[in-house]
Structure 1
Amino acid sequence: MTTTAPALDLTADPVALAAALVDVPSVSGDEGVLADAIEHALRTQAPHLEVVRSGAAVLARTNLGRARRVLLAGHIDTVPIADNVPSHRDGDLLYGCGTSDMKAGDAVIAHLAVTLTEPVHDLTVVFYDCEEIEATRNGLGRIERELPDWLRADLAILGEPTDGMVEAGCQGTLRAEVRTIGRRAHSARSWLGDNAIHRAGEVLARLAAYSPRRVDIDGCEYREGLQAVKVTGGVAGNVVPDEAVVTVNFRYAPDRSADTAVAHVREVLDGFDVTVTDLSPGALPGLAAPAAQEFLAATGATPRAKYGWTDVSRFAALGIPAINYGPGDPNLAHTREEHVDVTRITDATEILRRFLTD
């Protein structure tokens, strides 16, 4: 494994570049070596780009005066390594931590940034840190605060793994704790107590009976879900518990605001103590934007809804249409056997090249 910044050839075949990126460990919070390598490569191999550094993030852009600007973004951090670095190849499959999520996408973005010297749209590329951990440390948030001008664009494309499909917008997510209170007593004299875990049964019954919405937005169907994801309670094997907590997760369509999502969960669980512990808004597809229409035409793909939350939400909050498009398979992200089909890397490179040059 590489511990010092390697020399990266961003003009090389993106498949080879993806392997080189994987071979530089960059677990969240420890992306510095990889950021150094990317920064050095951009500064030495792409004189047509303006390059800046922000923490462990690297940004570059053209300034050609084009009518529109397209932003390509990819996070360079990974989840903890699971004995899957360095990378290895088996036929068309490239294995290694981050191959799918999302160093294959990073390779595509870096290669295009260096090799496209006269794109039809001005181009910004953003390689950022700490996406895989708590949102407060996400590098895009720091960039938004410190370098807001660098995030302005007519379309943002995140190289998140979509298996070569176009996934529009994203769901919002809400987590909350639903607390029930009872009265503690010795279980041998249970009539003297009030079992808080039993009281939580009503919470679970409402969740089991819940009918989630399906919402069509710009031709993409978003499916909502309200689920219990954790139940805690109990004091000891001979005590009637006086408190129980059901943790719920609401994945909601992007036509709901964060506030209306909170109101909906409180309505469903009316009468119970609901404390919201995590809340992130979704992102509308934004497919009507001219630059988004051009990209869809270049891919020839039928867009689908993004299930899950991604950083497209940050761009949507800035009023920038944003979509997810990357060569990795999301079902393989974070797994020990994580890999990417290298033909997806080649295809994504050519599709984005066509969009940015035709």
Structure 2
Amino acid sequence: MTSLATQPLDPSVGPVELTRQLCNIPSVSGDERAIADAVEAMLRDHAPHLSVTRDGDTIIARTELGRVRRVAIAGHLDTVPINENLPVRDTVDPETGEAMIWGRGTVDMKAGVAVQLVLAAELTDPAVDLTWVWYDHEEVSADLSGLGRAMRNHPALFEADFAILGEPSNGTIEGGCNGTLRARVTMRGKRAHTARSWMGVNAIHRAGALLEKLAAHEPERVVVDGLEYREGLNAVGIEGGVAGNVVPDHCSFLVNYRFAPSRSIDEAAAVVKEFFADADEVEIVDQASGARPGLDAPLAQRFVEAVGTVPTAKLGWTDVARFSALGIPAVNFGPGNPLLAHADDERVAISQIEEGAEALKSWLNGAI
């Protein structure tokens, strides 16, 4: 595997080769120090026009050109665990014949980070001021997010008029994102010996009716600012039971609700509680707001023109929601098929890396 000691990151090699270099630096969540060190060193060596701030393993680099508008562009440095899919290798897609780079992180999201790093070093006189952010701990619990931590520690550094998150989007623009909420639904009963089960109330049996209702549920499709978001309500875990000869007095299951960004967290919680109104208890255990598409912002409209494809809705939750919470319109845009993110055969099309870099560069040089 490539050694950082012998090959520092060099943006002059272009985004395709830089993708290979970045992927060959293992950076599973919680182990981002090496890649953060490499990114910081690259910026200090090759981008003297940028003001660089480090917060843990998050790097923030800004231009200070006095432009009327500022754009924030962000990407995460961590990956899910490696599973015999490093070092990267070049391959060909068996269906399309496209040249690909195969390996952990190629899609989610070091190809996007490579594009960003090359442009951060190259663009010394863009049409807008730029805030570049590369952050740690995206693939784990939201409370560990390096982006969230840096926003809390350095709020002034995140002021912007528009934001782009380099999550894989097949080289198209995906506006906003769904919100997500998890709830624990509980049914109670009365314990008894199974030889005299009529003396008890089986909590697992009581939960069955709610699970049947959930299985029959048809999730909504919600249009928000012209983009269609698909919601989802699914059981993702269940627990109950006492012993092999005891009627259980408790059963609970965990539900995940993916909701359109037109709903607030309170509204989403109300939907779940109403759906499970027959439960003995519904406890909201985790929640994160969605983000509206943000495509009505003038900068976003120019960006859509530069990319040249029809925007779609981002169905999963992404960190665009953190920018949206600050009042900053934000979209997802990056190379890679999101359906291959986290897959053992993760791979990105070289053409998407090159085309994404060119579209973003063109827009940043002419954005008004």
Band of TM-score, shorter chain = over 0.9
User: What's 1:180 paired with?
Assistant: 187
Q: Alpha-carbon deviation of 1:208?
A: 2.9
Query: What SS does structure 2 have at the residue aligned with 1:11?
Result: helix
User: What's 1:233 paired with?
Assistant: 240
Q: Distance in 2 between matches of 1:60 and 1:7?
A: 18
Q: Does 1:335 align with 2:343?
A: yes
Q: Does 1:111 align with 2:118?
A: yes
User: What's 2:75 paired with?
Assistant: 74
- List aligned pairs for 1:1-358, cutoff 5 A: 1-2=1-2, 4=4, 6-91=7-92, 92-272=99-279, 273-358=281-366
The answer to whether the Cα contact below 8 Å between 2:52 and 2:61 also exists between their aligned partners in 1 is: yes
Q: Distance in 2 between matches of 1:283 and 1:251?
A: 12
CA-to-partner distance for each residue in 1:50-74, whole Å, 9 max, x for gaps?
A: 1111100111111111111111100
User: What's 2:96 paired with?
Assistant: none
Q: Alpha-carbon deviation of 1:216?
A: 1.0
Structure 2: 5+ residue stretches without partners:
93-98
CA-to-partner distance for each residue in 1:161-186, whole Å, 9 max, x for gaps?
A: 11111110000001111011111111
Q: Alpha-carbon deviation of 1:335?
A: 1.2
The answer to whether the Cα contact below 8 Å between 2:2 and 2:21 also exists between their aligned partners in 1 is: no
The answer to whether the Cα contact below 8 Å between 1:215 and 1:253 also exists between their aligned partners in 2 is: yes
The answer to whether the Cα contact below 8 Å between 1:3 and 1:33 also exists between their aligned partners in 2 is: no
Query: What SS does structure 2 have at the residue aligned with 1:167?
Result: strand
Q: Distance in 2 between matches of 1:43 and 1:58?
A: 11
Query: What SS does structure 2 have at the residue aligned with 1:204?
Result: helix
Mean alpha-carbon deviation: is it higher for 310-319 or for 115-124? 115-124
Q: Alpha-carbon deviation of 1:11?
A: 2.1
Which letter maps to 2:359? I
TM-score by length of 1: 0.97
Query: What SS does structure 2 have at the residue aligned with 1:262?
Result: helix
Query: What SS does structure 2 have at the residue aligned with 1:37?
Result: helix
What value does the CA root-mean-square deviation take over the aligned residues?
1.2
Q: Distance in 2 between matches of 1:4 and 1:48?
A: 24
The number of residue pairs the alignment matches comes to 358
Q: Distance in 2 between matches of 1:197 and 1:271?
A: 14
Query: What SS does structure 1 have at the residue aligned with 2:12?
Result: coil
Q: Distance in 2 between matches of 1:3 and 1:17?
A: 14
Q: Alpha-carbon deviation of 1:97?
A: 0.9
TM-score by length of 2: 0.95
